[in-house]
């Protein structure tokens, strides 16, 4: 009987890895097709540019992974990114605050907002969709109370972060890539090697069972939204480095890109199953779609949304198929 249980566990784990394997194959196929179709596509710098251009999305998607693994959702992340850029630009550019003070303040505001939404979700048993939707409108509204116009940043620290290139032989990356990779490493360790990470998976598997097992459901649920808020604020800091401005219309739709990256990376929307490395692959797939379209040159940028929507639809169907077989 124990052998059957062990083999059943291996089978479930293998099925859980199928979406991530599909994403890996898709990434390789897309890169190979682009290399055949376009001159200059087969380049290490093209891959590194995916990270340079999407470092802020990667960080936000990391936070979203924690939330979706518990079976929740966070629609406020894009607005929180925009609010972070606005607060940074407002304090640094218009009031002369030092970046070393502004950046921790922005991270604290994002984390506090996430913890507050998590507390409301758990305490009043309100659907995360509703609470984070309210958070999204609140954050966007606060952006426009600061300024309805874009605020450019000329501070030396921000311009240096935007212009610095870290050499990797003949190639290069930006400081934002290092920050994003560090965030991924820390999140990976937290998810797979800490009690908090195990609680996240358990909560996504079954909240009722987690309560019966005596797991800290409240602390875990509030904590994942705090992580998401922190990652959103950090993503906003990286976008500020990237755009050198704060604007209320920054990151419109970023929450949908983050959700798409997490789902395409193999994390179940129902929670309890998924891998952080799959999220990284999902972000690379989204970035590669944009790169292919830009190399093609004649397609509208809206084709990016069309392709992402089609992929998301396919991966949701794949998830549904796998979960239905798992139950049977």
Domains of the chain with CATH codes: 17-323 (1.10.3470)
Q: Do 91 and 102 touch, CB atoms closer than 8 A?
A: yes
Confidence of residue 325 (pLDDT cuts 50, 70, 90): low
Dihedral of CA atoms 126, 132, 138, 141 in degrees, nearest 10, equals -150
Q: Do 221 and 47 touch, CB atoms closer than 8 A?
A: no
Question: Is it the case that residue 35 has pLDDT exceeding 70?
Answer: yes
Q: Do 143 and 248 touch, CB atoms closer than 8 A?
A: yes
Confidence of residue 7 (pLDDT cuts 50, 70, 90): very low
What pLDDT, on a 0 to 100 scale, did the predictor assign at position 316?
Answer: 85
Measured distance CA(261)–CA(38) in Å, rounded: 25
DSSP state of 166: E
A 10 A CB-CB count for 7 gives 10
Confidence of residue 239 (pLDDT cuts 50, 70, 90): very high
């Amino acid at each position: 009987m124990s052998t059957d249980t062990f083999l059943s566990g291996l089978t479930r784990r293998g099925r859980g890895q199928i979406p991530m394997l599909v994403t890996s194959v898709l990434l390789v196929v897309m890169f190979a097709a682009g290399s055949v179709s376009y001159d200059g596509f087969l380049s290490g710098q093209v891959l590194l540019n995916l990270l340079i251009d999407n470092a802020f999305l990667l960080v936000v998607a990391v936070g979203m992974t924690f939330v979706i693994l518990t079976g929740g959702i966070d629609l406020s992340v894009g607005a929180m990114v925009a609010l972070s850029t606005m607060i940074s630009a407002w304090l640094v550019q218009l009031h002369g605050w030092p970046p070393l003070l502004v950046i921790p303040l922005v991270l604290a505001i994002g984390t506090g907002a996430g913890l507050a939404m998590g507390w409301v979700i758990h305490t009043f048993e309100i659907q995360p969709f509703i609470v984070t939707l309210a958070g999204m409108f609140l954050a966007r509204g606060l952006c426009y109370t600061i300024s309805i116009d874009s605020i450019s940043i000329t501070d030396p620290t921000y311009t240096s972060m935007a212009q610095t290139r870290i050499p990797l032989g003949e190639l290069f990356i930006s400081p934002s890539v290092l920050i994003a990779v560090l965030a991924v490493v820390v999140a990976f360790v937290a998810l797979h090697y800490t009690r908090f990470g195990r609680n996240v998976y358990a909560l996504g598997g079954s909240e009722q069972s987690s309560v019966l097992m005596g797991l800290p459901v409240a602390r875990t649920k509030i904590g994942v939204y705090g992580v998401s808020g922190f990652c959103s604020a950090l993503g906003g800091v990286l976008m500020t480095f990237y755009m050198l401005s704060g604007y209320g219309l920054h990151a419109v739709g970023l929450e949908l890109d983050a959700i798409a990256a997490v789902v395409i990376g193999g994390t179940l929307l129902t929670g309890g199953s998924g891998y952080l490395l799959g999220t990284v692959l999902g972000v690379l797939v989204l970035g590669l779609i944009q790169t292919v379209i830009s190399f093609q040159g004649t397609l509208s940028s809206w084709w990016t949304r069309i392709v992402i929507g089609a992929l998301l639809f396919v991966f949701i169907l794949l998830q549904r198929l796998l979960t239905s077989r798992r139950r049977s």
